[in-house]
Amino acid sequence: MLAKIKKNKAYAPLLVLGIESSCDETAVAIISEDKTILSNIIFTQLEEHKPFGGVVPEIAARSHIDHLNGLVRKAMGQAKVDFDNLSAIAVTSGPGLIGGVMVGLMTAKAIAFVRNLPLISVNHLEGHALSIRLTEDINFPYLLLLVSGGHCQLLVVKGVGQYERLGTTIDDAAGEAFDKTAKILGLDYPGGPAIEKAALNGDAHRFKFPRPLKGKPGSNFSFSGLKTAVLRERDKLCDGQGGKLSNKDIRDLAASFQMALTDAILDRVKNGIEHYLKNYSLHDHIFVVAGGVAANSHIKEKLSSLCNECGFELKAPPMKLCTDNGAMIGWVGIEKYRKQQFSGLDSGAVARWPLDPNAAPAIGAGVKA
């Protein structure tokens, strides 16, 4: 059953509360239709998961329970609004760690029911995909590289809820490869920033790591073999040095890994650009990189060079909107509200939710597709 749709009289633009709890950030934001971010509160569980070198689903879900209600109150207070000012509640309903997704969804349902507000279920990946439209005036379609801890996909964003998937990871996601490689090298969690920092003073040409799928047709990604190559090189070095890596070894391994991963991404993206130019030549040539890994300056620099060569303009959301946040969920809520795409209070949380359900199965990709 849908809540009665109402538009606030005090606020001419739509005003949406966005809730995100799909992984290890508990996030709440208030977003206006005129693209004003009235509040964007993020509680990170980094310290809770750091001892384990990765996200523990049960710990994440319990942390969302502990913090979400307080964050809603804080976001409302910072935005200087109350529930009567809101037009709708938007919430991540998947994909993600199912326990955390359920915490956010049940909270959003309770608010929607009690306050008689529309509920808008949001695909977490669509939050990343459309976040660039919150900060810039970009028309559909555009080419998108979505790189995060759990996903690595190349898509044509044709509209709200309309995607053509050109490629996906067939094993690890890029962010997952960063985290696992950092753990192999004894670096901090999360792995992306740790690898990037270590690589700054490293020799990226010392180790000849593979570029998975390079030269193959299509735009699928693979990073598992690259991670394994780092592990093997580390073991060889440790065997010859009393079981320890030198600081130079760590820096060189990090730099060589980062360059190999970036080269592999560029090769896959180049194929996607060729597809876009062939099928969408009459539209703007905009390339967007979004997701947590989009914060990596080395990857963005190399993507910028490739885009310049191919006649594309590279766009990326601001750093604060690259990682998981409630603002991107609230913005999808705005986009879906305009299309009257509301959800019932009986809608459920889902662990897997592909942006392009019609895409052909990617052999080996399994649940990552």
Residue 54 has a pLDDT of 84
Contact at 8 Å (CB) between 158 and 170? no
How does 300-335 read in b/e, with b if 16+ C-beta sit within 10 Å? bebbbebbeeeebebbbbeeebbbbbbbbbbbbbbb
Domains of the chain with bracketed CATH? 15-131+321-359 (3.30.420.40), 141-316 (3.30.420.40)
Q: What is the pLDDT along the chain (369 residues), one digit of tens a residue?
A: 344 444 444 456 899 999 999 999 999 999 999 999 999 999 999 889 988 888 999 999 999 999 999 999 999 999 999 999 999 999 999 999 999 999 999 999 999 999 999 999 999 999 999 999 999 999 999 999 999 888 899 999 999 999 999 999 999 999 999 999 999 999 998 999 999 999 999 999 999 999 999 999 999 999 999 999 999 999 999 998 888 999 999 999 999 999 999 999 999 999 999 999 999 999 999 999 999 898 899 999 999 999 999 999 999 999 999 999 999 999 999 999 999 999 999 999 999 999 999 998 877 655 555
Strand, helix or coil at 88? strand
DSSP state at residue 247: H
Residue 364 has what pLDDT? 64
- The torsion angles phi and psi of 32, rounded to 5 degrees, stand at -100, 155
- Chain-centroid distance, C-alpha 37: 19
Torsion region of 112: left, alpha or beta (phi above 0 gives left; psi -120 to 50 gives alpha): alpha
Residue 188 parent element (H or E): none
pTM for the full predicted model? 0.93
- Residue type present at position 228: T
Q: What is the pLDDT of residue 67?
A: 97
Q: Are 369 and 168 in contact (CB under 8 A)?
A: yes
Cα–Cα distance, 265 to 219 (Å, whole number): 9
**What is the reported pLDDT for 193?**
95
Q: What is the C-alpha separation between 15 and 8, in angstroms, rounded?
A: 8
Residues with Cβ within 8 Å of residue 113, at least 6 apart in sequence: 3, 345
